Structure 1
Amino acid sequence: MSLIPGLDSKAHVLIAGASRGIGLALCTAMLAREDVAHVWAAARKASTSTELAGLAETYGDRLKRVDCDARDERALETLVSEVRAGSEHLHLVISALGILHQDGAKPEKGLAQVTLASLQASFTTNAFAPILLLKHLLPLLRKQPSTFAALSARVGSIGDNRLGGWYSYRASKAALNQLLHTASIELKRLNPASTVLAIHPGTTDTELSQPFQSKVPDGQLFEPAFSADRIIELVAAHGPADSGTFWAWDNKPIVW
Structure 2
Amino acid sequence: MADVLILGASGGIGAALCAAHAARGDKVTALSRSVDGFDVTDAASVDTALVGLGPFDRVIVATGALQIDGAEPEKTIKAITAKAMADQFAVNAIGPALVLSHAHDLLKPDGVFAVLSARVGSIGDNKIGGWISYRSAKAAVNQIVHTTAIELARTHKQAAVVALHPGTVATPFTEKYLGRHPSVSPDEAAGNLMSVMDGLTADHTGRFLDWAGKEVPW
Q: 1:110 aligns with which of 52, 61, 76?
A: 76
Q: 2:202 aligns with which of 234, 237, 240?
A: 240
Q: For residues 120-141 of structure 1, what are the alpha-carbon distances to aligned partners after superposition, in whole Å with 9 as ceiling and x for unaligned?
A: 0111111111111111243122
Identity %: 40
Verify the 8 A CA contact 1:99 1:208 in the aligned structure 2: yes
Q: 1:41 aligns with which of 18, 30, 34?
A: 30
Moved over 6 A (4+): none
Name the aligned partner's letter for residue 73 of structure 1. Answer: A
Tell me which residue corresponds to 1:56: none
2-structure distance, mates of 1:249, 1:195: 16
1:104: how far off? 5.1
Tell me which residue corresponds to 1:189: 154
How is 1:220-235 mapped onto 2 (pairs within 5 angstroms)? Answer: 220-235=182-197
SS state at 2:163 partner: strand
Name the aligned partner's letter for residue 44 of structure 1. Answer: R
1:105: how far off? 4.2
Q: 1:29 aligns with which of 20, 44, 59?
A: 20
TM-score (norm 1): 0.81
Tell me which residue corresponds to 1:250: 212
1:93 and 2:59 are equivalent in the alignment: yes
- Tell which structure's C-alpha radius of gyration is larger: 1
Name the aligned partner's letter for residue 212 of structure 2. Answer: D
1-structure distance, mates of 2:134, 2:176: 15
1:102: how far off? 2.3
Pair 45,77 (structure 1): closer, same or farther in 2 beyond 3 Å:
same
Tell me which residue corresponds to 1:12: 3
Name the aligned partner's letter for residue 151 of structure 1. Answer: L
Verify the 8 A CA contact 1:122 1:168 in the aligned structure 2: yes
1-structure distance, mates of 2:18, 2:37: 15
1:177 and 2:142 are equivalent in the alignment: yes
Tell me which residue corresponds to 2:92: 126
1:145: how far off? 1.4
Q: For residues 170-202 of structure 1, what are the alpha-carbon distances to aligned partners after superposition, in whole Å with 9 as ceiling and x for unaligned?
A: 100000000000000000001102111111101
How is 1:191-206 mapped onto 2 (pairs within 5 angstroms)? Answer: 191-206=156-171
1:113: how far off? 0.7
Consecutive unaligned residues in structure 2, runs of 5 or more: none
TM-score (norm 2): 0.95
Name the aligned partner's letter for residue 233 of structure 1. Answer: S
Consecutive unaligned residues in structure 1, runs of 5 or more: 1-9, 47-65
